[in-house]
Amino acid sequence: MKVEFVDLRREYQEIRESLRGQVEKVLSRGCYILGDEVQSFEQEFSDYIGAGHSIGVGSGSDALYLVIKALGIGEGDEVITVANTFVSTADAIARNGAIPVFVDVMEESYCIDTLKIEEKLTTRTKAILPVHLYGQPADMEPILAIANKYGLHVIEDACQAHGAEYRGQKVGGIGDVGCFSFYPTKNLGGYGDGGIVVTNNEMLANKVRVLRHYGQEIKNESIVLGINSRLDELQAAVLRIKLKYLDKWNGSRITAAALYNELLAGVEAIVPRERASTKHVYHLYVIRMKDRDNMRRKLSAKGIETGVHYPIPVHKQRSYLDMGFKEKLETTEKICGEIFSLPMYSLITEKEIRFVTDAIKETTGGNGG
């Protein structure tokens, strides 16, 4: 048996028939950029998150980049974020000429340690950018309280957390603005790149809308220096169909995670811990083991693919060392040598999960399986 880290063909098989019709409709209509599909999807996604405005863009990275630009954050400004994330989070800050200021994460959630934010604030701090990592919401209440106290923007990186909830509210709609990616492997993914910005702030929404489209509001009139970054009609048509399945597919991920938890009880591994009053949507199922590399090798030999998210924290990446980053982040640097991600996607089967956990038990020699 082989267990792939993710198998995107299964979701495709489930929606194949409805996709065919939609794709044909878009191709026949003859409008491929900024047409009805994008507009409808933006509305449907706003409704899903519970926010006033959505702007479809070219990727999650561009969503973050454009939001920071639209907020007027640039040269010399600082943005509080984490190093235990995909590098794109911090890149969006640095590419705007601003400085990512890294705060350590909590051992329980792998998300930003809210007790360590205030000590990193300076007069140049403009925003806090928490990441809802692996599908688990960051602790938004203290973040909003700090932001409120110091007059900072809150930008949510919800690229791994479509449908996740914090105290009954969908993430991405809790701070000033949320950013999502539709990269194919995300909980809601297209068949190419895509992203979206979600906000209740109409002025900010309008700015992002102009920036994604060459800085133009009216054809051939550039009012600010913009870029070309739009969600295309085909991706929007696909996403409109997949959005209808999101809750169901997230539910399957949650069931899969619960089964992993149950089967891994008794193994010397730290399984994901969910904070009370949150809905974790398990973009990734991340566990921690002391001899991680050895375990991954053994699983690979048995046909099981695993991943590490992420092996090198952002501040230790070559590009960031070259920019002069040299802080020490104790928990971030400790966990990156122990964490690894087991196969997880909406349509993974119970049999596959049992195969993975049996293999882990055989390798640790514990608990028979």
Spatial distance between the Cα atoms of 131 and 159, rounded to a whole number of angstroms: 8
Token pair of 65 as six digits: 């980049």
Among 51, 57, 60, 162, contact with ligand PLP (rule: CB under 6 A): 60
59 near ligand PLP (CB under 6 A): yes
Number of residues that bind ligand PLP (CB under 6 A): 15
Among 106, 159, 164, 196, contact with ligand PLP (rule: CB under 6 A): 159
Beta carbon nearer to ligand PLP, 195 or 343: 195
Spatial distance between the Cα atoms of 178 and 151, rounded to a whole number of angstroms: 18
DSSP state of 274: P
Residue 194 contacts by C-beta under 8 Å, 6 or more apart in sequence?
56, 57, 58, 59, 181, 182, 183, 231, 232, 235, 236, 239
Residue 276, judged by CB atoms within 10 A of its CB (0-12, 13-18, 19+), counts as exposed
131 near ligand PLP (CB under 6 A): yes
Among 178, 190, 195, 343, contact with ligand PLP (rule: CB under 6 A): 195
| Position 69, amino acid | K
Among 88, 109, 125, 235, contact with ligand PLP (rule: CB under 6 A): 88
| Position 131, amino acid | V
Of 22-30, 83-91, 256-264, 359-367, the segment contacting ligand PLP by CB under 6 A is 83-91
91 near ligand PLP (CB under 6 A): no
Nearest distance, CB of residue 132 and ligand PLP, angstroms? 8
Beta carbon nearer to ligand PLP, 46 or 88: 88
221-255 residues labelled b (16+ CB within 10 A) or e (exposed):
eeeeebbebbbbbbbbbbbbebbebbeebbebbbe
| Diameter over CA atoms, the chain | 69
Residue 346 contacts by C-beta under 8 Å, 6 or more apart in sequence?
10, 11, 187, 248, 249, 250, 252, 253
Given 3-state DSSP classes, what are the helix, strand and coil percentages for the chain, each rounded to the nearest 5? 40, 15, 40
Token pair of 329 as six digits: 């982040």
Of 139-147, 156-164, 218-226, 295-303, the segment contacting ligand PLP by CB under 6 A is 156-164
**Stretch 164-183: interaction string toward ligand PLP, x if CB under 6 A:** -----------------x-x
332 near ligand PLP (CB under 6 A): no
157 near ligand PLP (CB under 6 A): yes
Hey, which residues does 81 pair with through a beta bridge? 102
78 near ligand PLP (CB under 6 A): no
Of 22-30, 53-61, 134-142, 258-266, the segment contacting ligand PLP by CB under 6 A is 53-61
Nearest distance, CB of residue 172 and ligand PLP, angstroms? 12
Nearest distance, CB of residue 59 and ligand PLP, angstroms? 3
Residues of the shown chain interacting with ligand PLP in the complex, contacts defined by CB under 6 A: 59-61, 85-86, 88-89, 131, 157, 159-160, 181, 183, 193, 195
